[in-house]
Structure 1
Amino acid sequence: MEIKNYDHIIPSEDFDIVYIEKKYHNEEIVKSAVLLFENNEVKIRIKFDLTNNSIINENSFLFIQETNLLFYSGNIEWSAFDLSNKNIIRNEIATQLPYIERRNDVILIFDDLYVECTNLKGVTIDKVPVDPPTESTDYDDRIEFNSSIFGKQILKLKIQP
């Protein structure tokens, strides 16, 4: 993975995917970043058009080798790129700086106001509202959240039969 950040907008030619960041109302797209990603048979170039306060680094991404998906965490959004087909399969809004992690065979996306669980292909298994501060208890098949506004929320980590 190689990332180049620019302080200006670069031309959108010769990229497999061009991604335009979601922005707050008063922000403008003013710069670009380029991700060069190569893994086994997969080689892809993604251009990101970004606002002034955004910067992309390796911590912005989570690669799922089994499905060739690349999850991206932005300022107020998260996305999933299908590297095999060179397209964007998810582009979701978030409150601020969502955190994405893999736990066994699921992907967890933590935002200030919700938590979502997807399979390794980016398909939603479950999604629950939360509010900070939130306490949680982890189990093999679920995470239980307790928050003052939404009360007890149970995020399923597996599709129930």
Structure 2
Amino acid sequence: MHIRLEDSERHVLSVTVDNEAGILARIAGMFSARGYNIESLTVADVSPDHRISRITIVTNGPPRVIDQIIAQLDRLVPVHQVTDLTDTGPFVERELALVKVSGKGDSRIEALRLADVFRAKVVDTTLESFVFEITGPTSKIDTFVSLMRELGLVEIGRTGVVGMLRGVAA
């Protein structure tokens, strides 16, 4: 099946699951077996008793494929709930990145200036490099990384997207 790029939509899915061995592999395997792409995947324990985890998946595809992904995730036994944050309502989305940049002189000064503009925090420094911590929407981090490429980008580490619905609705 050929999917036209213009039909593809980005979706952020929040999946609540039992915190048990192998569930992440089962979910990733389901995506892989059906040829679905995972752009970002994060997982964390979210309950006081460590029994429940929340998996946030960023994927893309036409509406029909997104509906299939949600239905297939919903059928997995340790899955409690699948929420398509993109379709459910307004939601907050954030990602964290560590960005290492090397440079001296003017490029070092420019890297610090841009970090200030993007509200990135210096978390490590040497005479020849910085490690910046930046949080925000994926687009903000992408832009910051792109600008740092011009100034001596050395390395990037990204957490992946986390998100949740706005307001009091759970």
Q: Same fold (TM over 0.5)?
A: no
Q: Name the larger-Rg structure.
A: 2
| Bigger helix fraction | 2
TM-score (norm 1): 0.25
TM-score (norm 2): 0.24
Larger RCO (CA under 8 A, 6+ residues apart): 2
| Bigger strand fraction | 1
